[in-house]
Amino acid sequence: MFGTYLRRELVNRRKQSLIISIGMALAIGLVILVNSISGGVQNAQAAVLSSVYGVGTDITIHQAAAAPTAGANPGRFSFGSGTGETSGGTTTLAQSTLTTSRTETVFAATDLDTVKATSGVQAATGTLSLTNMTFNGQLPDQTQTGTTGGTEGTGTAGQPGAEAGGTRPSGGADGAGGSSFDVDNFSVLGLDPSGASVGPLSAVTLATGRLLTAADAGTDTAVLDASYATSASLATGGTIDIGGTTFTIVGTVSSSGSDSETASNVYIPLDVAQTLSSNAGMISNIYVTAASSSGVDSLASALQTALPAATVSTQADLASTVSGSLSTASSLVANLGTWLSIIVLAAAFLIAILFTISGVTRRTREFGTLKAIGWSNRRIVSQVAGESVVQGLIGGVIGIAVGLVGILIVNIVAPTLSGSAAATTAIGGGASGGRSGGGFGAAAKAVATTVTLQAPVTLGIILVAVGLAVLGGLLAGAIGGWRAARLRPAEALRSVG
């Protein structure tokens, strides 16, 4: 009887059923679509982050720089007497220095041991993030420099942040007999050459040559980012001057997954980086993989306790550093999408409830009659609830179809999003170098990534959708059923009208 009655009601009161179901379908479809896009945006963010931090990095640790002390400005070139060749009143200089980032400070590599000893850490590796600045140019002889223009030219030429350097004055332009120079920046990352499973190089694909190996420790070998190598006209088998030392380029790497640059322009063995930059036993970043993905937050706070001076960031913290259209999409989905889903869902529930109540009111005499011939309240409530749940389920099924079509459209259109991980850690040196060195056609900069948005469909989303549809139906059915239960059986006797 239950089934027959339910079927007859749904079929014969098609309009009411359809309105409830379609309302539910739109809401469920929207929930699925928003959920899926949000998943896609998260994947995209993860792709951007992994191109910077490597795959499987759950937590990164760095230490922010203390306020710079006077005279300790890294990146200052020192030109003593006898440097360069002097001819005809100008000195020709070619000097490169390897320095640590201005925004970060190095810390003892023993902190890495502390991290590795913390429970919940599966793997950890330490890196030293450096910036190499190469100065190429001619300076007017100090003695011949006039009082105009030249002071600036000589006094600040070595400071990459200075305006004078940024405009690349050519000889004569400053009216002082001319200084002509070029400053080139690129980021250098010292890392454990034995190839850790965690860290910046875990998300790269070998383009040419080979990666660093344990045997490279202590040797002047370098691996270059493929796109940097192209732009700097360097190739595997060639050499590169880093901090005044000539390194052999053994390979180039490109980012796997996305068409972005990798975390650094140049990768060299950690011990060599430490020696060259006079940072023996020091590192600037630690990459941590947590033993369990659910324990990331508690591990982060444990690490923060163990290393009070350090800044401990989780992937979630890092995701907020991703900028560009990806971050716009992310906040759009998070804000507009979520609110829209909630509002439409609430509206659909409300429609279902109101229509169910009005249906019960219209059927007052019908339910009164059924009660008069012996139907219990429970039987009537379950009849009303059954109708609502089935309407909700039909809406849910249509909604899933609508949602899947929406997802299909998104995936066919496949909008591209660009994200920039202006991170504070691995490319911290690059970021600040890029900023100050921007005027020089900066070699070091934040890693920009273009990702195609793909909205994934998960079983979880479908189950949530079905759950919501049933919930909406149950809610409407419970309220409608409650109304029906309150009807007096004597309503059946009310005169026709």
Decide: is 490 part of the binding site for another protein (CB under 8 A).
yes
CB of 469 to another protein, least distance (A): 23
User: Measured between alpha carbons, how far is residue 287 from residues 111, 112, 190, 203 in Å?
Assistant: 12, 9, 13, 13
CB of 489 to another protein, least distance (A): 5
For residue 425, count other CB atoms closer than 10 A to its CB: 30
User: In this complex, which beta carbon is closest to another protein, that of residue 162 or of residue 492?
Assistant: 492
Decide: is 482 part of the binding site for another protein (CB under 8 A).
no
Decide: is 66 part of the binding site for another protein (CB under 8 A).
no
Binding mask 372-401 for another protein (x = CB under 8 A): xxxxxx-x----------------------
Residue 310 tokens, joined: 């350090």
Say how far apart CA 255 and CA 257 lie, in whole Å: 6
- The angle subtended at Cα 399 by Cα 397 and Cα 401, nearest 5°, is 75
CB of 486 to another protein, least distance (A): 11
CB of 364 to another protein, least distance (A): 11
Query: Among the candidate windows 10-18, 350-358, 414-422, 450-458, which touches another protein by CB under 8 A?
Result: 10-18
CB of 383 to another protein, least distance (A): 10
Q: Phi and psi dihedrals of 437, rounded to 5?
A: -95, 5
One residue of 46, 370, 476, 484 binding another protein per CB under 8 A: 370
User: In this complex, which beta carbon is closest to another protein, that of residue 10 or of residue 345?
Assistant: 10
Decide: is 13 part of the binding site for another protein (CB under 8 A).
yes
One residue of 62, 371, 435, 445 binding another protein per CB under 8 A: 371
Decide: is 18 part of the binding site for another protein (CB under 8 A).
no
Q: With contact defined as beta carbons under 8 Å apart, do 185 and 132 qualify?
A: yes
User: In this complex, which beta carbon is closest to another protein, that of residue 4 or of residue 69?
Assistant: 4
Residue 10 tokens, joined: 């749904």
* Interface with another protein: number of residues (CB under 8 A): 27
Decide: is 486 part of the binding site for another protein (CB under 8 A).
no
User: In this complex, which beta carbon is closest to another protein, that of residue 367 or of residue 440?
Assistant: 367
One residue of 69, 233, 293, 495 binding another protein per CB under 8 A: 495
Say how far apart CA 416 and CA 326 lie, in whole Å: 9
User: In this complex, which beta carbon is closest to another protein, that of residue 213 or of residue 376?
Assistant: 376
Say how far apart CA 213 and CA 181 lie, in whole Å: 37
One residue of 236, 369, 382, 411 binding another protein per CB under 8 A: 369
For residue 162, count other CB atoms closer than 10 A to its CB: 16
User: Measured between alpha carbons, how far is residue 110 from residues 281, 286, 399 in Å?
Assistant: 8, 11, 56
Decide: is 5 part of the binding site for another protein (CB under 8 A).
yes
Binding mask 336-365 for another protein (x = CB under 8 A): -----------------------------x
The binding site for another protein (CB under 8 A) comprises: 1, 4-5, 8-9, 11-13, 365-366, 369-377, 379, 488-490, 492-493, 495-496
